[in-house]
Structure 1
Amino acid sequence: MFETEFNEIPIDDWSLDDIPLARVRAASGADPSIRKISYPKGAFEPFYNPKSRLFPDPSERLPAIVRNITSNANCDRYLVVTRYKTELQGTSLVLDGIGAYSRGVGSFARHSHLFANVAVNLIDGRSYEQINRHFANFGSNLAESMRLTEDPITKLDNSQFPDPPASAASNTALRERTRALVAARLDRTLPGYLKQD
C-alpha cells in the first residue's frame, strides 16, 4: 500500500550543464572572461559518494576535486554548481539533484512535482579554499521560504509525469520545464556569488 519506487533516468541530451554558464553570463552582463571548464565524466563522484564517512578524506572534498580539474586553468575563481539531496517534508522520500516525483493514489489525490536541488559553490583560484557566502541571498531565500502558495514552476500536471519512467528522457515538455526550473533556481542564487568583494 505504501510503496516508494525510485528510477534514475539518464538525461545527458537535455544539456543541463549548459544552463549554469548561460545564467552566469546573463547575470554578469556577458563578461567575456567567464568560461566553461570541461571535466571528465565521474570527476565529482567522490564528492557525491565519499568512501570515507567517519573521517572525511580531503581528496573527496570539492576544493580538491576542483584543483585536480583546473590545474592549468589559471582563473581567479571557480563557480561550481553541484547537486544535493533533501528529504521531502513529512516523508522519508529523498530527492537527489534534479527530477520529478509523484505522491498519492488515483488521479484526484495524486500530486506531481519537479525539483531542482542545485547548489552554487565558489572556490578561490589561488588557494583553492571554499569562499563561503552564507548570507549571499538571504532576502530572496527568506522570501521564497515564506511563500504562501506553491511555486508554479515546480507543479507538474499529473498527465506530464513520465509513465513509464524511462519515457522521461524523450519527453520534450518535461525537458523544457526542468531546464526552466534549473535556470530559475540559479537566477535566484547567483547574484550573491557574483558580486565582487
Structure 2
Amino acid sequence: MFRFAAPVLILLSFLTSAAAQTPPATTAPAAQTAPQEKPTAKKATAKPKAAPKPAESTTAGPCGVGVIAGTGDIFVVQKIGLTVFGNDYAEVPVSWGLDDLVFARARAAAGNTPVRRITYAKGALDSYYHPKSGLFRNQREELSNLIRQVAGNAGCERYLVVMRSEGQLDGTNQSLSGVGIFSRGVGLISYAYVFSYIGVTWVDGRTFEIMKGPSVTFEGVMKRMADNFVSNELLQKVDKSMFPETAADSANNTALRDTTRDFLTKRLDKILPPYFAQ
C-alpha cells in the first residue's frame, strides 16, 4: 500500500510544481499587448494617402460619358495697367489638381450617370490653345478632330469636354482666359480678382461632332447672358496682397491655390449639372 502511494505522491508533487510554473506562460502574452496598438497608428497615418484621389472612375466596361478635363493645370497671372505698357501676361504650370477637380465635380454633377475620365498626354491640347498663325480658323472642326485623337479607342457614347475659354474684361480691351488672377491699376488705386473662364462642350462619341449643349435654348441663352453680366459668376475679388510679386511665385501660394480651387468649384457646380439633366 505504501509502495503504491509513494509514486502517486511523487506524481502529485510534480504536477503541483508544473502548475506553479504556468503563470509566466500566461503573463508573457500580456507583455506583448502594448505593441498591438501600432496597427492603429499606421492606419491613421495611411488615411491621408488614400484621400487625395477619390475621383477616379472605372476604365472597364461600356462607356456612357467620357470626361476630358482640359485646363492643363495652367494658372494665368495677368497685369492690366493704365496703358498698354503696364500689361503683362504669364501662364504658370501648377500642381493644384485643377483637372482632378474638374473631373470630381463632373462626376458629382452626373449623379447616377456613369462617367469615365479620359486621360491624355501632356501637351495634347496645346495646339488648340496656341494655334499656328493663320487668317482663318475653324475652331469647331479643330476641337472635333482633337477630341477624336485624345479619345482614342475609349468608345464612349459622348464626351464632356471642359476646357479653358476666353472673355473680355468689361471696360477694357483686355481678355481673360482660363483660370487665374489679374490686377488692375497702380499703387493704392489697384485691385485684384481671381477668375474662372471655363467652357463645356458635348461631343458625339461616334461622329465626334459638336453637340448642342443645354444653353442652346432660349432660356439657356438668356441665363448665360445674365450670368456673364453678373461679375461674381466669373470673377471674385481678393485682397491685393494675394497677387504674386512674380508669376512663378503663384505656384507656391497656398492661399491663392485654395481660393482659386474654391472659386472654380462653385463655378463648375453651376455650369456642369445642366449637361447631365438633358
Shorter-normalised TM-score: what interval? Answer: 0.7 to 0.9
Q: CA RMSD in A?
A: 2.5
- Superposed displacement of residue 77, structure 1: 0.6
In structure 1, C-alpha distance between the alignment counterparts of 2:264 and 2:193, rounded to whole Å: 14
Instruction: From 154, 162, 177, give the equivalent of 1:81.
Output: 162
User: What SS does structure 1 have at the residue aligned with 2:89?
Assistant: coil
- Whether the aligned pair in 2 keeps the contact of 1:99 and 1:114 (CA below 8 Å) is yes
Unpaired runs of at least 5, structure 2: 1-81
CA distance, structure 2, for counterparts of residue 145 and residue 174 of structure 1: 23
Counterpart of 2:252, as a letter, is S
Code of the aligned partner of 2:88: E
Q: Please identify, of 150-159 and 187-196, the stretch whose mean Cα deviation from structure 2 is larger.
A: 150-159
Cα distance in 2 for residues equivalent to 1:69 and 1:5: 32
State whether structure 2 residue 207 is matched by structure 1 residue 127. yes
In the other structure, the counterpart of 1:50 is 131
Where relative contact order (Cα < 8 A, 6+ residues apart) is larger, the structure is 1
Q: 1:192 is matched with which residue?
A: 274
- Calculate percent identity across the aligned residue pairs: 39
* Counterpart amino acid of residue 158 in structure 1: K
Q: 1:58·1:64 contact (CA, 8 Å) conserved in 2?
A: no
* Cross-structure match for 1:9: 92
Distance 1:131 1:112 in 2: 36
More strand by share: 2
| Whole-angstrom distance in 2 between the partners of 1:76 and 1:186 | 22
Q: What's the TM-score, normalizing by structure 2?
A: 0.62
Gaps of 5+ in 1: none
- Residue 48 of structure 1 deviates from its aligned partner by 1.6
Q: Give how far 1:62 is off.
A: 1.0
One-letter code of the match for 1:86?
G
Larger radius of gyration: 2
* 1:169 Cα deviation from its structure 2 partner: 0.4
Q: Which moved more, 1:56-65 or 1:41-50?
A: 56-65
Deviation of residue 142 (structure 1)?
4.5
Q: Secondary structure at the match of 1:178?
A: helix
Decide whether the 8 Å contact of 1:85 with 1:95 is kept in 2.
yes
Within 1, Cα distance between the matches of 2:167 and 2:255? 25
* Conservation of the 8 A alpha-carbon contact between 2:234 and 2:267: no
Q: Distance in 2 between matches of 1:16 and 1:115?
A: 14
Cα distance in 2 between the residues matched to 1:158 and 1:23: 29
The one-letter amino acid of 1:127's match is T
The SS at the match of 1:154 is strand
**C-alpha spacing 1:128/1:60, structure 2 compared with 1 (3 Å):** closer
> For residue 147 of structure 2, what is the aligned residue in structure 1?
66
CA distance in 1, matches of 2:112, 2:148: 25
**C-alpha spacing 1:58/1:161, structure 2 compared with 1 (3 Å):** closer
CA change 1:179–1:52 in 2 (3 A) is: same
Residues 166 and 110 of structure 1: CA distance in aligned 2, closer, same or farther (over 3 Å): same
Structure 2 residue aligned with 1:164: 246
- Return the alpha-carbon distance in structure 1 between the equivalents of residues 160 and 211 of structure 2: 10
- In structure 2, what is the equivalent of residue 96 of structure 1? 177
Partner of 2:71: none
After the TM superposition, which residues 17-36 of structure 1 pair with which residues of structure 2 at under 5 Å, given as runs? 17-29=99-111, 31=113, 33-36=114-117
